[in-house]
């Protein structure tokens, strides 16, 4: 019976590693700064679909007299701040400025661009999680370890470490879900798949820590 349990555990781990490899291969983010054409098919109710997320993102004050160009300039400044924060691995600032970029994208009636900003909140939360947990190295170690008590202990330690940093991932889920909801109005399978992959990764980590 003990041998069967170990075999079952090993098979589950192999299946999990296969799934996470497939999901990780799809993970990607877009931080383009090129001003897109305004000819996209924008849905008239796109602004209303983001009410819940905007409650957490709206700036305290902003000038109602700002022109469209002012709003675009604010968007690009936010994106520059994202890049600077990412370069120094300041993920809290990355998320803060991505929220601002999202807000300004919605100001210029570009929910397609706004969806990318929300997706990237999830993406960078995953990057932070992987760095703080040494995720890649731990998963390689689990894959290469021989079956036995040491492997069981290492898996338990890995789950405990993942669970410690899981809240940041879970905090990003509602942004990813909002990105997915915004994205449904556009025929962009590439963006849709990336948003879904980020959601799937977080779901895998949650399930892995609860096994």
Q: Tell me the domain boundaries of the chain.
A: 2-28+49-210
User: Model confidence at 184, in pLDDT bands (50, 70, 90)?
Assistant: confident
What's the N-to-C CA distance of the chain in angstroms? 19
Q: What is the DSSP letter of 106?
A: H
* Tokens 């909140």 sit on residue: 121
Smallest Cα–Cα separation from 182: which of 97, 123, 118?
118
pLDDT tens for each residue of 123-138: 999 999 999 999 999 9
Q: What is the DSSP letter of 29?
A: -
Q: For the chain, how long is the longest CA-to-CA vector? A: 73
Name which of 32-36, 90-94, 166-170 the model is least confident about: 32-36
By the 8 A CB rule, do 27 and 194 touch?
A: yes
pLDDT of the residue at 56: 56
Chain CA centroid to CA 121, Å: 5
pLDDT of the residue at 65: 85
Separation between Cα atoms, residue 7 and residue 172, nearest integer Å: 35
Helix, strand, coil proportions of the chain in percent (round to 5)?
75, 0, 25
User: Model confidence at 15, in pLDDT bands (50, 70, 90)?
Assistant: very low
Separation between Cα atoms, residue 7 and residue 117, nearest integer Å: 43
pLDDT of the residue at 157: 97
pLDDT tens for each residue of 132-165: 999 999 999 999 999 999 999 999 999 999 999 9
Q: Residue 91, Cβ neighbours under 10 Å: how many? A: 19
Residues 6+ apart with CB under 8 A from 191: 30, 112, 115, 116, 119, 183
């Amino acid at each position: 019976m003990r041998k069967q349990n170990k075999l079952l555990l090993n098979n589950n781990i192999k299946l999990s590693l296969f799934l996470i490899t497939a999901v990780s291969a799809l993970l990607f983010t877009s931080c383009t700064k090129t001003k897109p054409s305004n000819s996209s098919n924008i849905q008239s109710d796109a602004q209303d679909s983001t009410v819940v997320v905007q409650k957490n993102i709206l700036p305290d004050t902003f000038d109602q007299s700002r022109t469209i160009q002012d709003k675009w300039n604010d968007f690009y400044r936010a994106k520059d701040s994202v890049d600077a924060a990412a370069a120094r691995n300041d993920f809290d600032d990355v998320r803060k400025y991505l929220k601002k970029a999202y807000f300004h994208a919605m100001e210029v009636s570009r929910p397609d661009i706004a969806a990318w900003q929300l997706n990237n909140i999830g993406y960078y939360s995953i990057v932070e999680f992987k760095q703080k947990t040494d995720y890649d190295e731990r998963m390689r170690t689990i894959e290469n370890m021989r079956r036995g008590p040491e492997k069981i202990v290492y898996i338990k330690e890995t789950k405990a470490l993942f669970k410690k940093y899981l809240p940041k991932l879970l905090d990003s889920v509602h942004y990813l879900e909002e990105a997915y909801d915004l994205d449904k109005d556009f025929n962009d399978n590439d963006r849709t798949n990336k948003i879904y992959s980020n959601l799937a990764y977080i779901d895998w980590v949650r399930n892995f820590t609860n096994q």
